[in-house]
Amino acid sequence: MAVAPPSYCFVAFPPRAKDGLVVFGKNSARPRDEVQEVVYFSAADHEPESKVECTYISIDQVPRTHAIVISRPAWLWGAEMGANEHGVCIANEAVSTREPAAETEALLGMDLVRLGLERGETAKEALDVIVSLLEEHGQGGNYYEDASSCHSFQSSYLIVDRHEAWVLETIGKYWAAEKVTEGVKCICNRLSLTTKMDAEHPELRNYAQSQGWWTGEDEFNFSEVFSPADDHPDCCAGKDSLEKQEESITVQTMIDVLRDKASGVCIDSESFLTTASTVSVLPQNRSSPCIHYFTGTPDPSRSIFKPFIFVDDVKLVPKAQSPCFGDDDPAKKEPRFQEKPDRRHELYKAHEWARAVLERGQEQGHKLRKTMLELEKQGLEAMEEILASSDSPDLAEVGDLFYDCVDTEIKFFK
């Protein structure tokens, strides 16, 4: 069975998080050479009976989809993580379970992230969207752009809005979910739900019994029932990274946790790399805007977190988007993945130079790192001012925000 990549995803609620803010963060661990792009899609109305083409299958479209910003592996339709205009954030984890995931092409967990964002105005609505599509279409297919082998996984999700989060864990079409409204929560590539489940598939327990995984007499513990026999359910290293923070958790705290290689939260191994990262801050006071930070580049310890705010007129950022190959894309043709096109976008290419300099670690590398952190700090401080102000931000400036940050970063690397 394929080993799920060791990604981590976090949320912190007040009072553990500072100033009435909900703070969300995710590291996306993927194959080392995979490129992620950051893409914005505006809200849209759709014709009756129209279809939406996901990574492998088409499904019925809804009358209206919300505006979203997502970070995704450039070859697929869905998203590893992202946010919508209503302050909903979702991230996905591939998980290894007792039941192998289907190799048959269906919806990917990453497709369900995007569908939840496009269709849900709250975390609970997004949860309902995901589980109903899971029931209808199932999940399955290759998680990697790899012709030699099919890597398929079950999925778990962290779905967050300004007031609550839902941890959703799935096995085929079966699922369970826990509501979280306080403290900190971490999910990784292992099942985490135990006996506290606030919603579940009506046939979940019968299914577990039919497989001989649960007697029906013991207390029903989701992780114990569905985890692989050799799993150690409590080794989510990332959980300690956030929980041991003594100060109130801020955007900077979350960024620091995502950059931490010693804890295993930031992956840089032979097979996997943290190929992109995101942090979102969701003020519980609805008069303040939600702010979403994306790297769009690998290894958060060597990347700049750049802010994005939803407004009506967001400037698109082609420099953080991969080339489009249309119907000729090897990911869309069957048999799939017979070639691997160059999916690097302009930001990724510029950042490759920076990574090489930083890895050498000499004086030039130390200087470069210092300047990168300074650029990031300026962005963080400007966003703190927006959150602290009672005035609405300048919409024209905010609409260009992510574009300007990407542009500055590329110019700086050149």
Q: Classify 249 as helix, strand or coil.
A: strand
Residue 24 β-bridge partners = 11, 280
Exposed, middle or buried, 349 (CB in 10 Å: 0-12/13-18/19+)? Answer: middle
Residue 159 β-bridge partners = 90, 166
Label the pairing between strands 68-73 and 36-41. Answer: antiparallel
CA gap 81, 319 in Å, rounded: 19
Q: Of residues 9, 188, 290, 405, which has the active-site annotation? A: 9
| Residues 6+ positions from 192 with CB-CB distance below 8 Å | 156, 167, 169, 186, 223, 233, 236
**Residue whose C-alpha is closest to residue 171's, from 198, 220, 134:** 134
Per DSSP (E only), the strands in 193-295 are 199-200, 272-283, 291-294
Q: Classify 306 as helix, strand or coil.
A: strand
Give the count of beta carbons closer than 10 Å to the beta carbon of residue 327: 6
Task: Check: CB of residue 139 under 8 Å from CB of residue 171.
Answer: no
**Residue whose C-alpha is closest to residue 152's, from 83, 216, 87, 56:** 56
CA dihedral (32, 33, 34, 36) positive or negative: positive
Rounded alpha-carbon distances, angstroms, from residue 301 to 386, 412, 414: 26, 18, 20
End-to-end CA gap in the chain? 43
Exposed, middle or buried, 318 (CB in 10 Å: 0-12/13-18/19+)? Answer: middle
Give the count of beta carbons closer than 10 Å to the beta carbon of residue 48: 6
89 is catalytic: no
Active-site residue set: 9
